[in-house]
Chain A
Amino acid sequence: MQRIGVFICWCGSNIAATVDVERVADAVKKDQGVVYSATYQYMCSENGQQLIKNAIKEHSLTGIVVGSCSPRMHEATFRKTAEAAGLNSYMVEIANIREHCSWIHKDREEATEKAIILVRTAIAKVNLNAPLSAGESPVIKRALVIGGGIAGIQAALDIAEAGFEVDIVEKNATIGGRMAQIDKTFPTLDCSACILTPKMVDCAQNEKIDILSYSEVEEVKGFVGNFSVKIKRKARFVDEKKCTGCKLCMEKCPSKKGLDEFNMKLNKRPAIYIPFAQAIPNVAVIDPEQCIKLKTGKCGLCQKVCGAGAIDYTQKDEYIERGYGAIVVATGFKPIELNAFNEFGYSENQDVITSLELERIMNAAGPTNGVLLRPSDGEHPKVITFIQCVGSRDTSGCGKPYCSKICCMYTAKHAMLIREKYPDTEVHVFYIDVRTPGKNYDEFFRRAVEQYGVDYIKGMVGKVYNENGKLMVQGSNLIDNEQVLIESDLVVLAAAIEPEPSVRKIATLLTASIDTNNFLTESHAKLRPVESPTAGVYLAGVCQGPKDIPETVSQASACAAKVIGLLVKDKLKTNPCVASANETMCNGCSQCASVCPYGAITYVEKELRVDGKTELRRIASVNPAVCQGCGACTVTCPSGAMDLKGFSSKQIMSEVEEICKR
């Protein structure tokens, strides 16, 4: 039996003017469990709180009801008050007689009656309350960053800067990501490599950062503060510690048929290679699909020429398992496949290229050493036509419904760079809308038009076809209501971007939610934009939504701040209002786990005594550190075994009953 104290607040005249507070206090005096009731002008004031504390001690109260303003306002206050008087803070219930009563009703009689019912409802609930205590879980002071592009690099550097250890897992042979492939960056036109590679070197030199390149996340167990991750280190057939990056093997390798992925497959590379000159780690990797030794057993030239003795054809995939307190997902993007857009002739014509391919052609370290030459015949293109929104804002099913965000700016950049370097080139851009919000962004775009004379045509291209070696681009000019036909030498498609496909697997491993476009979902679009709804998982870069480099870096640093905020704690307090399963009622049907948005529910085999016999049963087990207390599982559970602490079915039922009593 509870000993309940009821405290009705006047809130000055806010409540007392419409609700007869004395009558309320009086009416509930004899209710079940109530041993004390009082009113006070301002219950949240120092004196009011003292009144509560004294009553708790004097009357040995086991629960209290405060009839006052919204619990969203002062629930935390009164919980602290109770705790200070030695009462468990979850034995406090608030009856909202201000926002839900005195402020909306004018009739004093009616408002008083309602206030009595609301207070009684809270009393009914407190009668069934049980003391709850927040659990604690330890925090492993190490972070994992999945993806080694600019987002992952920035997050890792910031976390390491605060003194925590960070591992970067990168599936490719080097970190750097998409930014390493880019030639120049908007809106300042500084060279991408010049600003990125120093950061890559910082990562390699930072003793807190461990770069696990050519590796993939295979398994994730645990929860916030306490993840255990299994990482596959793919066999690169080169000893990372011995290789000096001298590239002698690359020269001698007789197999030179592999397509250079770093250069968007525009040229060939040897079977043993370092992706690019500034790669980190600067260590070779063997492509097992192309290596003659690995395929036929005959060759071994690279091993013979390697002075460091780094080549090891017997290397196998290895697995390591490490613990982490927090995980940052920074898996990045890729341009979409353009097979569905045959009106632009990408598959048929070598001289129809994507913007990322143009980046490599424009880059001094690219396949043409930075000279703008068209892929088909190596000639200088004289007329270049850009087509924007290829596959973006497309709801027909071929492309992506969203705006890829970066294309307007990089197209303006390309157009400008080409006109700068080759003033005799004619450049046309077909656009639907030019979207350039951002600091110095619209000025940048206007420069392309005003200073560099790029011809922007409002309209979309209907088709691109080859006529006598010329690319005929037929499209709309909506401003002049004309159909135009442009004889071009090179056509550049601003292909939509999509999340790197491996993100699906990562999301599943982390139980992080993902939207219909495969972007990871943030916890709150406005107020928690870098946190995944799964506690301890943070999102940086395009894996969360299309964004450019400045935004990606901001988000990565924000992630790092969140991670540091988590890792500085030695222990995490958990929300005690979590779900738990009644072991004897649970039949292990797995329905609760399927509705849990956080993956908090697992199943354990447990020996239970049932009817004098010992049985081995499969029962649900809720991890209180992961559960957020939504209650979806409680309703799904067919046997009624699942319940939510603080909002138990019995408590809510008793509230319903009390309201219906009239």
Chain B
Amino acid sequence: MQEITTKEGFVPNIVAFCCNWCSYAGADLAGSSRLSYPANVKIIRVPCSCRVNPMFVLKAFQRGADGVIICGCHPGDCHYVTGNYYTRRRMAMLFSFLDYLGIERDRTRLEWVSAAEGAKFSAVMNDFVAKVTALGENKKLSDLRVKEGE
């Protein structure tokens, strides 16, 4: 697979939250089907997309992530019946708030990926990484104290 980079060789760092029942399994299927997506996507497993606290997303941007994507079951398919509906509302609010703070819309994303959609998972990640790469490094919320400490 080819790394998506800009001329300056910028490789974005992407945090992906995947629900255990659909999207994480979708990512597994992408893996077992050998459908590649950039290595800069790192997945955190959560029981349900509704476990994703907006604070986690803020934390990621604060610590220098360039994009955050949250994946859950399709509406109506949530293992916990209604969890992804909460996610949908919370993230709609959060993303518009982040937009207001200068974190571009293309840096945040909410996607429904079922356990059968390995191809979709891979396609979504490729597309998301391409968009974030085009935006360049995220500097808006990053915590300078952390950077200096490194």
Chain A residues in the interface with B (C-beta under 8 A):
70-73, 96, 98-101, 103-107, 110-111, 113-114, 117-118, 121, 513, 521, 533, 577, 595, 597, 628-632, 634-636, 644, 647, 649, 652-653, 655-657, 659-662
Q: Given A100-B27, A104-B35, A659-B15, decide whether A121 and B50 contact each other with a Cβ distance below 8 A.
A: no
The answer to the question of B101 belonging to the interface, with a C-beta cut-off of 8 Å to chain A, is no
- Could you list some 30 contacts between A and B, CB below 8 A? A70-B28, A99-B31, A99-B32, A100-B28, A103-B34, A104-B35, A104-B36, A104-B37, A104-B122, A106-B1, A107-B1, A121-B42, A513-B81, A533-B81, A595-B82, A630-B47, A631-B46, A632-B50, A632-B80, A632-B86, A635-B53, A635-B54, A635-B90, A649-B56, A653-B55, A656-B44, A656-B56, A659-B42, A660-B64, A661-B150
Q: Are the CB atoms of A105 and B36 closer together than 8 Å?
A: yes
Choose among B37, B63, B79, B81 the residue with the greatest number of A CB atoms under 10 Å from its CB. Answer: B81
Q: Are the CB atoms of A655 and B44 closer together than 8 Å?
A: yes
Q: Are the CB atoms of A659 and B44 closer together than 8 Å?
A: yes
Q: Are the CB atoms of A659 and B13 closer together than 8 Å?
A: yes
Q: How far is the CA of A636 from the CA of B86 in the complex (A)?
A: 9
Query: Quick one: which of B34, B43, B47, B60 contacts A577, CB cutoff 8 A?
Result: B47
Proximity string of chain B (56-67) to chain A, C-beta cutoff 8 Å, 1 when within and 0 when not: 100110011100
Q: Tell me which residues from 72 to 118 in chain B have a Cβ below 8 Å from any Cβ of chain A.
A: 79-83, 86, 90
Q: Are the CB atoms of A659 and B65 closer together than 8 Å?
A: yes
Additional A-B contact list (14), CB under 8 Å, known A107-B39, A114-B39, A657-B63: A72-B20, A103-B32, A104-B34, A104-B35, A105-B1, A595-B82, A630-B51, A630-B80, A632-B83, A647-B51, A659-B15, A659-B44, A659-B65, A662-B13
Q: Whole-angstrom distance from the CB of A18 to the nearest CB of chain B? A: 10
Q: How far is the CA of A62 from the CA of B85 in the complex (A)?
A: 38
Q: Whole-angstrom distance from the CB of A411 to the nearest CB of chain B? A: 32
Q: How far is the CA of A525 from the CA of B39 in the complex (A)?
A: 35
When distances are taken between beta carbons in the complex, the residues of chain A under 8 Å from B64 are 660, 662
- Shortest Cβ-Cβ A-B pairs, 8 listed: A99-B31, A631-B51, A660-B63, A630-B80, A630-B48, A103-B31, A99-B28, A632-B50
Q: Whole-angstrom distance from the CB of B29 to the nearest CB of chain A? A: 8
Proximity string of chain B (9-30) to chain A, C-beta cutoff 8 Å, 1 when within and 0 when not: 0000101000010001101101
Chain B residue, CB-CB nearest to A632: B50
Q: Are the CB atoms of A630 and B50 closer together than 8 Å?
A: yes
Chain B residue, CB-CB nearest to A659: B42
Q: Are the CB atoms of B39 and A72 closer together than 8 Å?
A: no
Q: Given A110-B3, A595-B86, decide whether A653 and B59 contact each other with a Cβ distance below 8 A.
A: yes
Q: Are the CB atoms of B86 and A104 closer together than 8 Å?
A: no
The answer to the question of B123 belonging to the interface, with a C-beta cut-off of 8 Å to chain A, is no
Q: Given A104-B36, A630-B50, A635-B86, decide whether A96 and B60 contact each other with a Cβ distance below 8 A.
A: no
